[in-house]
Structure 1
Amino acid sequence: MSTIDKNLTSFLDIAADSDFSIHNLPYGIFSAKDGSPRAGVAIGEHVLDLSVLEEAGALTLDGGPYFNQDKLNAFIDSGRDKWTKARETIQQLLSADCATLRDDQDLQAKALVKQADVTMHLPVRVPGYTDFYSSEEHATNVGTMFRDPANALLPNWKEMPVGYNGRASTVIISGTEVVRPSGQLKPKADERPIFSPCKRLDFELETAFIVGKPNQIGRPISVDNAWEHIFGMVLLNDWSARDIQKWEYVPLGPFNAKTFASEVSPWIVTMDALMPFQTTCPTQDPQPLAYLRGEGAEVSFDINLSTEILPEGADEATVVCETNFKYMYWSMAQQLTHHTITGCLVEVGDLMGSGTISGPTPDSFGSMLELAWNATKPVELKGGGTRTFIEDGDTVIIKGYAEKDGVRVGFGEVSGKVLPALDFNFSE
Structure 2
Amino acid sequence: MSTDNLKRSWVPTADGHPDFPLENLPLGIFNEPGGSPRGSVAIGNYLLDLTATLEAGVFEGLALEAAQAASENTLNNFFALGSPVRQAFRSALLDVLSEGSRFKDVLVDAIHLQANCQMSLPARVGNYTDFYVGIHHATNVGKLFRPDNPLLPNYKYVPIGYHGRASTLNISGTDFKRPNGQTLPGNASEPIFGPCQRLDYELEIGIWVGRGNIQGEAISISEAHEHIAGLCLLNDWSARDVQTWEYQPLGPFLSKSFATTLSPWVVTAEALQPFRCAQASRDEGDPQPLAYLLDQHDQNNGGFDIELEVLLLTAQMRDTGLQPERIALSNTTHMYWTVAQMITHHTVNGCNLNPGDLLGSGTLSGPKNGQYGSMLEITKGGSEPLLLKNLEQRSFLLDGDEVIFRARCKRPGFTSIGFGECRAKVLAAQVI
Given candidates 96, 100, 104, the residue that maps to 1:97 is: 100
Partner residue of 1:245? 243
Partner residue of 1:160? 158
Give deviations 1:314-356, integer Å, cap 9, x for gaps.
Answer: 1221111000011111100000001111011100000000000
Partner residue of 1:264? 262
Of 186-195 and 252-261, deviating more is: 186-195
Q: Contact 1:296 / 1:333 at 8 angstroms: preserved in 2?
A: no
Given candidates 144, 168, 171, the residue that maps to 1:170 is: 168
Given candidates 68, 81, 102, the residue that maps to 1:78 is: 81
Quote how far apart the aligned CAs of 1:44 are: 0.6
Q: Which runs of 5+ in 2 are unaligned?
A: none
Partner residue of 2:229? 231
Q: Contact 1:223 / 1:296 at 8 angstroms: preserved in 2?
A: no
Partner residue of 1:306? 309
Quote how far apart the aligned CAs of 1:393 are: 0.3
Quote how far apart the aligned CAs of 1:80 are: 2.1
Alpha carbons of 1:419 and 1:396: their partners in 2 closer, same or farther (altered >3 Å)?
Answer: same
Give deviations 1:369-404, integer Å, cap 9, x for gaps.
Answer: 001111111112232201111110011000001012
Aligned AA (1:192):
E
Rounded Cα–Cα distance in structure 1 between residues aligned with 2:92 and 2:180? 49
Of 176-185 and 56-65, deviating more is: 56-65
TM-score (structure 2 length as normaliser) = 0.94
Total equivalences in the alignment: 418
Q: Which runs of 5+ in 1 are unaligned?
A: none
Give the RMSD, CA atoms, in angstroms. 1.5
Rounded Cα–Cα distance in structure 1 between residues aligned with 2:6 and 2:332? 28
Give deviations 1:249-303, integer Å, cap 9, x for gaps.
Answer: 0001111100011110000000111110111222232111000101433311110
Partner residue of 1:44? 44
Partner residue of 2:281? 283
Rounded Cα–Cα distance in structure 2 between residues aligned with 1:12 and 1:236? 29
Quote how far apart the aligned CAs of 1:313 are: 4.1
Partner residue of 1:194? 192
TM-score (structure 1 length as normaliser) = 0.95
Q: Residue 219 of structure 1: SS of its match in structure 2? A: coil
Partner residue of 2:111? 112
Quote how far apart the aligned CAs of 1:17 are: 4.5
Give deviations 1:173-228, integer Å, cap 9, x for gaps.
Answer: 00001110000000034421010100000000000110000101011100100010
Q: Contact 2:309 / 2:405 at 8 angstroms: preserved in 1?
A: yes
Q: Residue 131 of structure 1: SS of its match in structure 2? A: strand
Identity %: 45
Aligned AA (1:88):
S
Q: How does 1:362-381 map to 2 (within 5 A)?
A: 362-381=369-388
Q: Residue 400 of structure 1: SS of its match in structure 2? A: strand
Rounded Cα–Cα distance in structure 2 between residues aligned with 1:65 and 1:162? 37
Rounded Cα–Cα distance in structure 2 between residues aligned with 1:98 and 1:260? 46
Alpha carbons of 1:311 and 1:63: their partners in 2 closer, same or farther (altered >3 Å)?
Answer: closer
Q: How does 1:131-150 map to 2 (within 5 A)?
A: 131-147=130-146, 149-150=147-148
Alpha carbons of 1:280 and 1:406: their partners in 2 closer, same or farther (altered >3 Å)?
Answer: closer
Q: Contact 2:40 / 2:71 at 8 angstroms: preserved in 1?
A: no
Of 413-422 and 82-91, deviating more is: 82-91
- 1:57 lines up with 2:57 in the alignment: yes
- 1:386 lines up with 2:393 in the alignment: yes
Quote how far apart the aligned CAs of 1:163 are: 0.5
Given candidates 391, 401, 408, the residue that maps to 1:401 is: 408
Rounded Cα–Cα distance in structure 2 between residues aligned with 1:163 and 1:204? 15
Quote how far apart the aligned CAs of 1:64 are: 6.9
